[in-house]
Amino acid sequence: MTTFYTKDHEWIAVAGDIATVGVTSYAQGQLGDVVYVELPEGGKALSQGDEAAVVESVKAASEVYAPIDGEVTEANDALADAPAMVNEDPEAGAWFWKMSIADKSQLDDLMDATAYKAYVDTL
């Protein structure tokens, strides 16, 4: 599995033709305690940059964007009942949705872990 990152602080883990998407630890830290998550429904077609989910914290609400084109295959329904999972494990157990990958070449525009860390260090 290969993980990529966006400048909007989403991570995308790719395994074959399926990608799992969530928010980074940096994003969670900026948001503070997450209290609500709105996820996309299965079957929803997403284009790169589309608003796909909403996360609300005690500080603010923020959109989560689709890092690539594809179709939602599954949402992490556990987050709806326990949004605090994002506070505890944003880059693993608290994934937001899984999606099919429509155009693998879009992954070339995303950052790897080293590039993302360097990007965050400039913020």
SS (H, E, C) the chain: CEEEECCCCEEEEEECCEEEEEECHHHHHHHCCEEEEECCCCCCEECCCCEEEEEEECCCEEEEECCCCEEEEEECCHHHHCCCHHHHCCCCCCCCEEEECCCHHHHHHCECHHHHHHHHHCC
- Under the banding of pLDDT at 50, 70 and 90, the label for residue 1 is confident
The arithmetic mean of pLDDT across residues 74-88, rounded, is 95
Residue 94: pLDDT above 90? yes
Residue 107: pLDDT above 90? yes
Identify the bridge partners of residue 10 per DSSP, sorted by sequence position. 23
CATH topology classification for 2-103: OB fold (Dihydrolipoamide Acetyltransferase, E2P) (2.40.50)
The arithmetic mean of pLDDT across residues 48-61, rounded, is 95
pLDDT tens digits, residue range 9-54? 999 999 999 999 999 999 999 999 999 999 999 999 999 999 999 9
The helix/strand/coil state of 116 is: helix
- Under the banding of pLDDT at 50, 70 and 90, the label for residue 111 is very high
What's the mean pLDDT when you consider all of the chain?
96
Residue 99: pLDDT above 90? yes
